Structure 1
Amino acid sequence: MNTYTDFILKHLKALLSIDSPTGYTKGVTDYLIKEYKALGYEPEKTVKGGVLVDLGGKDEKNAVFLEAHVDTLGAMVREIKGNGRLALTPLGGMNANNAEGENCRIITRSGKVYEGTCQLCNASVHVNGKYDETQRTFDTVEVLPDEKINTKETPKALGIMTGDIVAFDPRTTHYTKRIYQEPFPGRQIKCSHSPWLCRLFKRRAILLQNVNSIQHFTVYEEVGHGGAASIPEGVTEVLSVDMGCVGDGLECKEYQVSICAKDSGGPYTYEVVSNLIEAAKKANLDFAVDVYPHYGSDAEAALRAGYDVRHGLIGVGVYASHGYERSHVDGMKNAFLLLKSYLG
């Protein structure tokens, strides 16, 4: 298993280093396509910008569609203010409380990238007498580019404009077993379901003998419609590999794989959830079954789009979702082994 773990961590770090806020994902999908081609597969890019990879296997009339998203949370410039600082609009469910104090990159349409910091407006404690009582929203925080700016015209001269993407530094840190990442991006998804999965199936002879499996890396999950398209003919089941929630009222821990029975959109297919539980028990895995109160997935988006499929959701245990996220290597192991047991 150490070989698997090393490979997972190698590609996890590579994926996390690529900025991919919703709407700006070409870099990360190009990386996926390159890696899959190197392994001998034939990945395809969808019109929407996602990546499809057919892993093969039997029973093409009852294929399992494995979905994971590689888009992350981030922001977009909504206004260049009179003082040259940048007002933001969030991409996905990004929270201004977690954005404050973070380093970021402003990606211009011309391809130039400028560094900056997201701060509370009037952020000096020695000046702002209402620092503590100010609610953090995207009306009260702003981005300060590192360039010398003091007027609205300065950032415009640099090529910065409304609509530019703002990507936040994930601050990925690996402490022996635990992996920290901030801010929030569905970055944890990248550790749940990335090229290592395909490679391990291929290189380690973990072949999908009984099930035809197709991978779909989506790029609009954070805004709700990532899984709402591109499902090929013959797919009868959609399994979303996302994050497992860790928090009050839930069983899942960071070192476990979570099986979701219900989220904010309703229950997942009873038979799929039951089969996932049986597969986890059969493989003697450390797992939890939970109900997520504030959650939606690519699999759920597929049903809302009208696809006639069964659906399920699993994920690596992640604490502080959309904040300074914290995961455990054992959680990734358990998620991988659950997929192996379930699909094999």
Structure 2
Amino acid sequence: MKAVIETIRELVEIPSPTGFTAHALTYVENRFKAEGITYKKLEKGALIATLPGQSSRIRLLTAHVDTLGAMVKEILPTGRLTLSQLGGYAWTAIEGENCLVHKMDGQTVSGTILFHHSSVHTSRVTNTEERNATNIEVRLDIRSTTAEETRVAGIEVGDIVTFDPRFIHTETGFVKSRHLDDKASVALLLELIKEWKNETLPHTTQILISNYEEVGFGGNAGFSEDVAEYIAVDMGALGEGQHSDEYTVSICAKDSSGPYDLALRHQFTRLAQSHSIPYKVDIYPYYGSDASAAVSAGHDVRHGLLGPGIESSHSYERTHEASLQATYDLLNVFVKEKMNDENTL
């Protein structure tokens, strides 16, 4: 897990909200090159690595490098900024967070995301007013009290705003950070490739690192018609009424798009049981994945979804080494086994 967690740290510290993923994809590309992995870059910027196997029928695994973020929506008369969300999250999830505004010239300006009436000493609505797009603002770390002064600093509408990940690896095995969705899964696949590249795999296996998942159309194009199985490696959603936890691999039976392939799900659970890998099967009620996006786009693939359990998803997230290990182990045994239609479930 040491290598996996270090890769997670490196990834989450590269800002990459949807639409601003070039640097994170370059990191992945350099990892592919270092391992001598054959890959190609798609027009949307996503990367597909290929590991040859005994069968030409392709098994595709995907994880997404794009994260939550924002764009500058308006420069206020006070010089502060309002935001338009990239991805779906509650405004309360970013209140009080440090951020960076990425200007067109490549430079950044730091700031803090705050409620307009943030001081309890000057307002009676601080504790009661709903947070929304009109009252959440960026307080910039420059001397600006007017819109003109902010524009002179080079900030404009459409500039990308990224959130401080605040990565922490605790002595008790927890990993706390923003953007574990889905950079934890990207890290797992990058570390697993080191083992798989030296194996004789039963099927040609491709790794798709997508970059538009958070807005619903990542991973839905650009892959071969020979792909038979499409597996999204993405977070297990934890919360009230959920079965998943931070210590097992979460196997999704159904999300908001509908059920995942039953035979694949049974294969996941059978492999977990036979290899003593701790797992939970769950339903994610308000969730979609690159696998569901691919099926919705009309691709004729069997689709599945599994991943580490992530607490407080789309907020300040947390998982545990045990969940990362369980996901690593299940992916490892799955890729080395033949496809469902060649096995007895």
Q: TM-score, normalised by structure 2?
A: 0.94
Q: Does 1:73 align with 2:65?
A: no
Is 1:181 matched up with 2:173? no
Q: Distance in 2 between matches of 1:55 and 1:183?
A: 27
Which runs of no fewer than 5 residues in structure 1 stay unpaired? none
Evaluate the alpha carbon distance shift between residue 105 and residue 184 of structure 1 in structure 2; reply closer, same or farther with a 3 A threshold.
Answer: farther
CA distance in 1, matches of 2:179, 2:270: 35
**How far 1:10 sits from its partner (Å)?**
1.7
Deviation at 1:340, TM superposition (A): 1.1
CA contact (8 A) 1:93 1:222 kept: yes
Number of the residue aligned with 2:46: 50
For residues 188 and 9 of structure 1, what CA distance do their matches in structure 2 show? 8
Map 1:244-263; keep pairs closer than 5 Å: 244-263=236-255
Structure-1-length-normalised TM-score: 0.95
Matched, 1:225 2:221: no
Q: 1:199 aligns with which of 194, 203, 213?
A: 194
Name the structure 2 match of 1:266. Answer: 258
Poorly superposed stretches of 4+, deviation over 6 Å? none
Tell me whether 1:117 sits opposite 2:109 in the alignment: no
Mark the runs of 5 or more structure 2 residues left unpaired by the alignment.
337-345
Contact 2:95 2:136 in 1 (8 A): yes
- Counterparts of residues 326-341 of structure 1 (less than 5 Å): 326-341=318-333
Report the equivalent of 1:164.
159
How many residues align structurally? 335
Please give the alpha-carbon distance, in whole angstroms, between the structure 2 residues aligned to 1:208 and 1:169: 41
The Cα shift of 1:209 comes to 2.0
Give the C-alpha shift of residue 6 in structure 1. Answer: 1.4
Q: Confirm or deny: 8 A CA contact 1:258 1:290 kept in the other structure.
A: yes
Q: Deviations over 1:164-211 (max 9, x none)?
A: 0000001110002000013675444444x4421212323xx4x25212
Between the aligned residues of both structures, percent identity stands at 38
Aligned counterpart, 2:31 = 35
Note closer, same or farther for the CA distance 1:208–1:276 as it changes in structure 2 (3 Å cut). farther
Equivalent pair of 1:65/1:213 in contact (CA under 8 Å)? yes
Q: Aligned to 1:19, what secondary structure does the other structure show?
A: coil
Q: Which amino acid aligns with 1:275?
A: Q
Alignment RMSD = 1.3
Does the aligned pair in 1 maintain the 2:260–2:304 contact within 8 Å?
yes
Aligned match of 1:94: 89
